[in-house]
Amino acid sequence: MSKLVTIYGGSGFLGRYIARRLAKQGWRVRAAVRRPNEAGFLRPYGVVGQVEPIFCNIRDDASVAQAMQGADLVINCVGVGGTYGKNNMDAVHVDGAGRIARMAAEQGVGGLVHVSAIGADVDGPSAYYRTKGKGEAAVTEAFPGAVILRPSLMFGPEDGFINLFASMSRFGPVMPVIGAGTRVQPVFVDDVAAAAEKAALGQAAAGVYELGGPEVLTIRALVEKILRIIRRKKIILPQPAFVSRLLAGSLDLAQTVTGGLFTNSLINRDQLKSLAVDNVVSKGAKGLEALGIEPTPMEAELPDYMWKFRPSGQYDAIKESAAKLKT
C-alpha cells in the first residue's frame, strides 16, 4: 500500500504545492484544513481518492490526532500573519505546532516536516518571529528528528506580497513602499515544496534549512523588478516610519472597532516590525543547495502569472509585436 501523508494547511499557498508533488510520487495525501468544502481543487492532483481534504482544528487535540491517524509522515504548513481571534499567532505558531509534533510522536509517525520562517527567534523583534521561534522549540522538543524549513519571502501565482504590489500599480502615478531598504531573498514556492518532498523521501537529514532564492535585493528593488515585468512606470515613494506606523495603527484600530468585520489584510503593526529587519539566508546555513535543489530565478516565473497586471493584460505582447511591424 502507498504511504500516507497528512498535510496540515494542505490547501494553503505552500501546502497545495507539496500535496501535488507528493501525489505525483504516489503518496496518499490527507489535507487537514479548516474548510474542506473549499479545498476540492486538490482532488485532481491524484487519482480518484488519492488526495482527500478533511476538516481539522489545530487548536484541538482530538482533531489533530484524528487527522494524522495512520500517517507515515506529517507536514505542518499552517501559519498566520495577524494577532486577532482564536487562530492568532500564539495559538497557531506555538501551541498548534507543538500539538502536531507531540501527537506525531505519540502516534509513532515516521517523520515530521515543520514549515517555519527565516528570522524565527524566541527573542525576535516581532510577535511573528517570536512565535515562529517558540514553535520551532516546541517541535524539536517533542519530535527531535523533525526537518524544519525556514523559507524567505515566497513568490508564486497565489502569493499575497508580489501580487499586492502589482495590484497597487494599477492606481495612480505613485507607488508607496514600506520597508524599502529591507533586504529579502525571494524563493519560489515550488522550490520550498521540493524541499518538503526531499524530506518526505528521506533525502533530508533532521535539522533546520533556510531557503532563499538566487537573488538578494531590497524591497524597493523588488518593486522595481515587478514594475518592469508588468510594464508599468511609477514613482516609487518610500514611506517614512511614522507614516507607516500611523497607517498600520489605523488599520488595526479599524479591525478592532468593527469586531473583525473589517479585516486588515494590508499591513499591521507587527508586520511593520518584521519588515524592519532583513529576511535573508544566514551565513553558513543549510539551504536549497544542500538538498540538491537549484533555486528558481524570479524572472523564470513572474512573467507567466503577472501578465494580467500589464496595461493591456494578455494583449500586451500582441500590441508590442504590432508596433514593431510599423517601424
Kindly report, residue by residue over 264-317, the tens digit of the pLDDT: 878 889 989 999 999 999 999 999 999 999 999 999 999 999 999 998 777 666
- Residue 172, pLDDT > 90, answer no
Q: Does domain 4-155+186-212+280-295 have CATH number 3.40.50.720?
A: yes
The answer to whether residue 323 scores a pLDDT higher than 70 is no
**Tens-place pLDDT, residues 128-171:** 999 999 999 999 999 999 999 999 999 999 998 999 899 988 88
Q: What is the pLDDT of residue 63?
A: 97
Task: Indicate the range of 79-83, 215-219, 224-228 predicted with least confidence.
Answer: 79-83
User: What's this model's pTM, rounded to 2 decimal places?
Assistant: 0.93
Would you state the pLDDT for residue 85? 78
Domain ranges, ordered by start, for the chain: 4-155+186-212+280-295
Q: What is the pLDDT of residue 218?
A: 97
Query: Residue 327: its pLDDT value, please?
Result: 58
Taking the C-alpha atoms of residue 93 and residue 114, their distance in angstroms, rounded to an integer, is 10
Cα–Cα distance list, 157 to 160, 174, 298, 306 (Å): 9, 24, 12, 8
| Sequence-ordered strand ranges (E) for the chain | 4-8, 28-33, 51-55, 73-76, 111-115, 147-151, 154-155, 174-177, 183-184, 187-188, 207-211, 217-218, 235-238
pLDDT band at 189 (very low <50, low <70, confident <90, very high): very high
What are the pLDDT digits (tens) for 25-65? 999 999 999 999 999 999 999 999 999 999 999 999 999 99
pLDDT (0 to 100) of residue 255? 85
* pLDDT value for 147: 98
Averaged pLDDT score across all residues of the chain: 93
pLDDT at 241: 87
**322: pLDDT confidence band, cut at 50, 70 and 90?**
low
The confidence score (pLDDT) of residue 326 equals 62
Using one digit for the tens of pLDDT, what is the confidence trace for 142-152? 999 999 999 99
Burial of 125 (0-12, 13-18, 19+ CB in 10 A): middle
